[in-house]
Amino acid sequence: MTSAKCFISWVRESGRGHLAACAGWGTAVLYGILSLTRLSFDTENTFFGIGSVELWRGCAALGIVMALLEFFYLLQPAKLDFYYSLPVSRKTIFWSRYVHGIIHGAVPAVLVMAACGIYQASIDTSFDPYTGSYTGKSIFVCAAVFFLFYHIGIASLTVCGNIVSAVLAGAVLTAGFPLLIQGACIPLSENYFDAYYRIPLTELLNSVLSPLDLASGLFGRELYLKPNILAFSPDISLILAVFVWILALFAVFAFAQKARQTERVGRAFVLLPAERVVETWVTFLCGILVFSFFTELLTGTAGAGNRPGTAAMSAAGAAAVCVGVHCLMEGILKKPGAKLMRRRWQLAGTGAAAVCAGAAFAVGAPAYDGWFPEDAQAVGISINGLDMNYDTYREAVYGDTYVIDGQLAQYELSGEGKAALLGWLEDVVRGSGDVQTAGMETTGMQPEEVQTSETQSEETSAEITRATVCYRMENGTCRYRSYPVTETQLAAFSAVYNTEEYKTAAYPAVKLSDVSEDRFTWRDGVKDRDLPLNADEKEALLEAWREDISSLEMEELSAVLPCGFVRIRSSTDGSASDLPVYPFFEKTCGLLERYGTDTGNALADYTIDSVEVLESTPVPANVSGGVHLSVYDKTDEIAELAQKLVPDELDIQPLLCPLEHTGDVEAVVTDEETNSLIRVDCVMKRE
């Protein structure tokens, strides 16, 4: 009874309730109507395929719903008896429903997306080149996500005997690995590894082992711009991962549908191996999560000093939770009358695995922190506060990886700079154990507080900032570390800073060429002035700046702020490059003076009408106030303040040349040329 004819007739039989067809076609048609309507209004921000958050969530939900509608009979004893008593093999019933679910789940989505692609191509000329590729890729990822969650649903229903356990099994499948990675691996790394910044393998595992992350990754997570979205292709690792997931789950339910015991329907699991696997996995997961939680808690209260004690207490907590969770699950799963500890060896193994996995982070910490690759192909470096403005510095200090990753890419050295950097890093790594962790990351200090402590203390072994490093290895992999940096080590960084390679990375404008048609502007932080230069003068100015940069040394940056910037706006693509100009850039300043620009013009040289200082202090909840605005408009007050104020735009070396950021200061300046007021964000010089 497994002939094709019978199979097809059973595919038809599967649709008896029409619920699956309604769900599949209804969702697709609804989505299609909404997409077409939105496209008719806005083709720039509407994406019917890749880039649509609603679509991947819809595909995932549809996959689960279709699995439930098609395979819910596996949890219904009366229906099972009915089907299994018919002269049709179980295989035929199961696989016909599988095919039926695909027909009514994936096919409507494919048709609707094809229709959306054709429609957008007809109304949006910028979409034309992407009509085939974008629509095709969208159909592919949509089908992949649908299949992923369809299979998760089927696997859960096939190994479980009731809806509650099936839902929980689906949740474990979906959230188990992300919980392990985000809830245990990353926190344990952060707490035990002093040099932890990020581990690409962990991130890769999280993106491929978390079905939700995998689905959003396939749909181009974090892409917002139309050109990027239309040209987006999912990473090959994600495509492979989704195939592995789909095939693995397929193998699970293909085996389970044959081996499942009908008489166990109604109990938690119909397959004993599934019961043991889930029990082991959940116990292990709870154990390691508690290990991580205790570590976080104890590190927060006792500090990072007593790591062996923290690890021991966390291990004890994890072991206790393993026993508790195991007994709880046994209490739920075991047959009446069976002993609670009937699987004590399983418990012992699981508990030991959870404890060992957690302890491995503590034990492996010295090896992780002390690892240093002398043969790295390239090294990226980002020192918080160096060559970044104050706002970026704050973001970096508060752990904004976007900022640090941007810097690591910008400051990737592979030549003479790399050799100097590796030499410097070797000293940093060797000395990192002796550094007093007085940094922001560990103490929660504000950047300005760090600077204060720095100036107030003569302790040069205290951490003043952190350096994040990306070692690019010969096999193309990247390894990241974050090291504490002392004042002495920062000073030693000049050996790296003064190399041509580093300066090229720090001042990318040195690579500009043929600027004769570009627009030059002088910016002193208060107002912009066009520089009316001819082509030769522009080239001469850029060359002079290059020479000044070439002779620039890091030590000079700690003494003085830039007096302004020369902004070069490209005549070809409109991009802007800022050339910071310091007072000691003799050649550049000389040329600018010759071209009629006063580089010595400071804020105090402008006519300041008033200065407003907004200070805010924390107040308890439900209490108003805490904000204090002071307006200084008397001549003597303004004169005094003007000597202390610097335009915020010039604060580009907050680590080397720190300024006071205790309040929001705004100077109201009169522009006498245009007889208008300019509001300038300012910071105070330090006393």
Partner 1 sequence: MIRISDLVKTFDDTCAADHISLEIPEGILFGLLGTNGAGKTTLLRLTAGILEADSGEILVDGEPAGASEKVFYLPDTPYYFPNATIEQMAGFYGRQYREMDTEGVRYMAESLNLDMRQPIRTFSKGMKRQAFLILALCARTKYLLCDEVFDGLDPIASEVMKNLFRQEMRERKFTAVVASHRLPELEDICDNIAILHKGGVVTAGDMRMKAENIWKFQCVFHDADDRVGLEKELDVVRCHTDVNFVTLIVRGDREEIRTELYKRRPVFVAEVPMSLEEIFIAEMEVKGYDIRKVLH
Residue ranges binding partner 1 (CB under 8 A): 1, 9, 13, 16-17, 78-82, 84-90, 261-263, 335, 337
Place of tokens 């006063």: 598
Best CA proximity match to 87, nearest among 10, 4, 8: 10
Question: CB-wise, 8 or 302, nearer to partner 1?
Answer: 8
In 10 A of CB 327, how many CB atoms? 15
For the CA atoms of 672, 675, 680, 683, what is the dihedral angle to 10 degrees? 40
What residue type is assigned to position 268 of the chain?
A: A
Are the beta carbons of 114 and 135 closer than 8 angstroms? Answer: yes
- Nearest distance from residue 94's CB to partner 1, in Å? 12
- Nearest distance from residue 217's CB to partner 1, in Å? 41
Nearby residues of 52 by Cβ (< 8 Å), 6 or more positions away: 35, 219
Question: CB-wise, 79 or 594, nearer to partner 1?
Answer: 79
- Nearest distance from residue 17's CB to partner 1, in Å? 7
Are the beta carbons of 220 and 207 closer than 8 angstroms? Answer: no
Question: CB-wise, 333 or 655, nearer to partner 1?
Answer: 333
For the CA atoms of 285, 289, 291, 294, what is the dihedral angle to 10 degrees? -160
Are the beta carbons of 1 and 82 closer than 8 angstroms? Answer: no
Are the beta carbons of 502 and 417 closer than 8 angstroms? Answer: yes
Distance CA 418, CA 496 (A): 8
Helix (H, G, I), strand (E, B) or coil at 637: helix
Question: CB-wise, 23 or 285, nearer to partner 1?
Answer: 23
Question: CB-wise, 9 or 601, nearer to partner 1?
Answer: 9
- Nearest distance from residue 293's CB to partner 1, in Å? 37
Best CA proximity match to 151, nearest among 55, 68, 246: 246
- Nearest distance from residue 95's CB to partner 1, in Å? 14
Question: CB-wise, 91 or 221, nearer to partner 1?
Answer: 91
- Nearest distance from residue 156's CB to partner 1, in Å? 23
- Nearest distance from residue 31's CB to partner 1, in Å? 28
**Which H or E run contains 391?**
helix 390-397
- Nearest distance from residue 273's CB to partner 1, in Å? 17
Distance CA 564, CA 646 (A): 11
Question: CB-wise, 84 or 398, nearer to partner 1?
Answer: 84
Question: CB-wise, 262 or 616, nearer to partner 1?
Answer: 262
Are the beta carbons of 111 and 24 closer than 8 angstroms? Answer: no
